[in-house]
């Protein structure tokens, strides 16, 4: 028992915070605005309209609609080989986002912040992305041998107007986990959930389905025949129709009686189906070892991390980013969850007060408009009564 406690204390003591940013004083000097495009949007310091503690909750907010954004910060180069990697940050879409990214990219140290753009090679991309009802997911993308691999699962993103804490945990056993607001949202094996490696087995190129293989489960009953009285004509000539007396064949053409629905119509006939006696089952292509498969027990590992960046597009601005943390300790990330929950409680309370105030103002305005309309209606009635009053004769 004592050994376990000592091991835990050693793990905590050796835990390392690799990057942290809460956007306090001087944050502009720590972050680099990309100049890869001339019209990138501007980030401004803001806690938003609703917050728990304005100073503590201030992050950076996208401030211009329909813009790309590019901002990055450097940190000491490190590798996560043999270690857990945790990336965590807070996102608040206070503008009720319709289309825009809320994710971050973790780059190698070689990326230059001034030149960072959508083509800059990154190691990991993580965070929410929302664009209409079709895209409302959390991206988890790992780069491997020059190609970016998106998680095959769909992890739902939060789309409301309060803050959410997104956490990605990458473990040295090639597993990963996504937490939202301190709770597990999804996770699994990097081997299974990302197509980084070629398949271990492939269809045997020397095999193919035999030409006489029967995989039709049912056939028409050969002994079933259409009844002689089966009627397939859907319409028939109206027996009650008569040629009009004033019909002129030379002028109007040859008269034809109109068609009506056939009361005897039974629909298209088809033979009943029976089990196919020749059915052999579903043919399964034999598998063989893939000669191109190369195993890799370090899919999780990157030799060089050194830059974090926000490279997103936003239609309607107003997203706030804050509380960035990169660490090798899950415990360090978990310790921030309690503070986050206090923040969210304060946000929700402030938003409720503001929403209640708006609702009350709207109610007062509606009542005033209704009263004004009623007064105008009474005035119109009085004017009408005066117009209708009898005039004295001269």
Q: Which domain range does residue 339 map to?
A: 17-199+297-352
Provide the 3-class DSSP secondary structure of residue 7: helix
Q: What are the structure tokens assigned to 269, written together?
A: 């006939």
In a domain, 133, yes or no: yes
In a domain, 318, yes or no: yes
Residue 394 confidence class, pLDDT cut points 50, 70, 90: very low
CA distance 15 to 295: 30
What share of the chain in percent tops pLDDT 90? 76
Residue 376 confidence class, pLDDT cut points 50, 70, 90: confident
Provide the 3-class DSSP secondary structure of residue 34: coil
Query: Cβ neighbours of residue 158 under 8 Å, at least 6 residues apart?
Result: 128, 164, 180, 181
Total residue count of the chain as it appears in this document: 394
pTM for this one?
0.76
Q: Which run of H or of E encompasses 21?
A: strand 17-21
In a domain, 382, yes or no: no
Q: What are the structure tokens assigned to 278, written together?
A: 């020749």
Provide the 3-class DSSP secondary structure of residue 244: coil
- On whether the CB atoms of residues 122 and 107 are closer than 8 A, the answer is yes
- On whether the CB atoms of residues 62 and 314 are closer than 8 A, the answer is yes
Q: What's the pLDDT at 386?
A: 65
Quickly tell me which residue has 């040629």 as its tokens: 243
pLDDT in tens, 201-212: 999 999 999 999
Q: How many domains does the chain have?
A: 1
- On whether the CB atoms of residues 54 and 320 are closer than 8 A, the answer is no
pLDDT in tens, 94-138: 999 999 999 999 999 999 999 999 999 999 999 999 998 889 999
Provide the 3-class DSSP secondary structure of residue 314: strand
In a domain, 31, yes or no: yes
In a domain, 309, yes or no: yes
pLDDT in tens, 319-368: 999 999 999 999 999 999 999 999 999 999 998 998 899 899 999 999 88
Q: Which run of H or of E encompasses 136?
A: strand 135-144
CA distance 77 to 304: 6
In a domain, 182, yes or no: yes
Residue 9 has pLDDT above 60, yes or no: no
Reference 326, options 346, 309, 339, 312; nearest CA is 309
In a domain, 108, yes or no: yes
In a domain, 80, yes or no: yes
Provide the 3-class DSSP secondary structure of residue 202: strand
CATH number at residue 182: 2.60.120.200
β-bridge mates for residue 202, sequence order: 288
């Amino acid at each position: 028992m004592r050994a376990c406690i000592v091991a835990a204390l050693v793990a905590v003591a050796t835990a390392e915070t690799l990057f942290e940013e809460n956007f306090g004083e001087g944050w502009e000097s720590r972050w680099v605005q990309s100049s890869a495009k001339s019209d990138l949007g501007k980030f401004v310091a803001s806690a938003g309209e609703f917050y728990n503690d304005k100073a503590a909750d201030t992050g950076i907010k996208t401030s211009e609609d329909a813009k790309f954004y590019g901002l990055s910060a450097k940190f000491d180069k490190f590798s996560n080989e043999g270690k857990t990697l945790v990336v965590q940050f807070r996102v608040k879409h206070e503008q009720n986002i319709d289309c825009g990214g809320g994710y971050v990219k973790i780059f190698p140290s070689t990326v230059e912040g001034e030149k960072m753009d959508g083509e800059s090679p990154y190691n990991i991309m993580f965070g929410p992305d929302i664009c209409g009802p079709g895209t409302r997911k959390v991206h988890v993308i790992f780069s491997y041998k020059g190609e970016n691999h998106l998680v095959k699962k769909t992890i739902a993103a939060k789309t409301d107007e309060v803050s959410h804490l997104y956490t990605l945990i990458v473990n040295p056993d090639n597993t990963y986990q996504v937490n939202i607001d301190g709770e597990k949202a999804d996770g699994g094996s990097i081997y299974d959930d990302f197509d980084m490696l070629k398949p271990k087995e492939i269809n045997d190129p020397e095999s193919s389905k035999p030409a006489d293989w029967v995989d039709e489960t049912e056939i028409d009953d050969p002994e079933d025949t259409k009844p002689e009285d089966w009627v397939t004509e859907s319409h028939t000539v109206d027996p009650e129709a008569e040629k009009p007396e004033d019909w002129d064949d030379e002028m109007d053409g040859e008269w034809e009686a109109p068609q009506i629905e056939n009361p005897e119509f039974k629909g298209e006939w088809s033979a009943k189906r029976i089990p196919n006696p020749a059915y052999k089952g579903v043919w399964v292509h034999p598998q063989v070892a893939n000669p191109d498969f190369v195993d890799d027990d370090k899919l999780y590992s990157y030799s060089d991390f050194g830059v974090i960046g926000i490279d997103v597009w936003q239609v309607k601005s107003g997203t706030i980013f804050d509380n960035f943390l990169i660490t090798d300790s899950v415990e360090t990330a978990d310790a921030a969850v309690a503070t986050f929950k206090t923040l969210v409680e304060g946000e929700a309370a402030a938003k409720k007060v503001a929403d209640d105030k708006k609702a009350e103002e709207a109610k007062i305005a509606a009542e005033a408009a209704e009263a004004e309309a009623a007064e105008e209606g009474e005035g119109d009635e009085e004017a009408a009564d005066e117009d209708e009053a009898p005039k004295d004769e001269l």
